[in-house]
Amino acid sequence: MIWQPLILSLQVTAVATALILVAGLALALVLARRRFRGQVIVETLVNLPLVLPPTVVGYYLLLALGRGSPLVEWLGVRVLFTWGAATLASAIVGLPLMVGAARAAIASVDPALENAARTLGSSEIEILWRVTLPLARRGILAGLVLAAARALGEFGATLMVAGNIPGRTQTLPLAIYDAVQNRQYGLANQMVLLTTAVAFLSLWAVRRFEQTRN
C-alpha cells in the first residue's frame, strides 16, 4: 500500500520540480537583474504561498482551474482531481523557495565578470550560460532541492484541488493522513519515517551546498 502513494508522489514531485526550475529560474533572473515598476508586487505575489494557509492556496487554484475559469471555458482543459492538479499545487508552494535562493545566488555574481565576457564579444545568452549560471549554480541547486522537498511534502493545497483518491491522486502526505484516520499506525509510521528521511537528506544536501560556497 505504501508503494502507490510513494510512486505517485515521486511522479508529481519530478514534474513539479521541472516546472519550478523553469519558472523559478526565469523569475530569479528577472528579479535579480532588472528593476521595473511593480517589482515589489511581483515579489510579494511570488512569496505569498509561503505565508498563506495551504487551503487558501488550494482555494485560489480551485477558482483558477474550476468551472467558469478561462482554462476550462476557453481552452477546455480540465485538471481538477487529477495528478496534474496535484503537480500544479506542489509547484506553486515550492516556487518561492527556488526563486529566493536562485535570486540571491544570481545577484551575488560579480558584474565585472559578466562585463569582461561582453568585452570579449560574448552574447547575453552566452554570458548567461557560461558565466552567470555556472557561478550561481550552487545557490540555484540549493533552492531547487528545497523546492522539491516542499513539493514532495505538499498536503493542504493538493487535497483541495486533487482530492484524496487512492491510486489516482493520493500522494504520500495524503496517505499518511488516511492511515492515521483509519488507525493504521504501523503503516503511518513507515510513511512518516520515509518522508522524514527524504526531508532530512534534502536539508543536509542544501547545507552541504552552502558549506561548499563558503
The CA–CA distances, whole Å, from 132 to 43, 111, 137, 176, 211 equal 21, 9, 8, 41, 20
pLDDT reading at 184 higher than 60: yes
Q: How many domains does the chain have?
A: 1
Task: Provide the residue range defining the domain that includes 141.
Answer: 3-213
Q: Residue 86, class by beta-carbon neighbours within 10 Å (0-12 exposed, 13-18 middle, 19+ buried)?
A: buried
Q: What are the two backbone dihedrals, phi and then psi, of residue 76, each rounded to the nearest 5 degrees?
A: 70, 20
**Per-residue cell: 56:** 487558501
Evaluate whether 46 touches 26 at the Cβ level (below 8 Å). Answer: no
Is the pTM value of this prediction over 0.85? yes
Q: What does the mean pLDDT of the chain come to?
A: 91
Q: Using 50, 70 and 90 to split pLDDT, how confident is the model at 66?
A: confident
In this prediction, residue 200 carries a pLDDT of: 92
In this prediction, residue 95 carries a pLDDT of: 97
pLDDT reading at 214 higher than 60: no
The CATH number given to whatever domain includes residue 94 is 1.10.3720.10
Return the CA Rg of the chain.
Answer: 19
Q: In terms of Cα–Cα distance, which of 143, 160, 162, 137 is closest to 11?
A: 162
State the CB neighbour count (10 A cutoff) for residue 2.
14
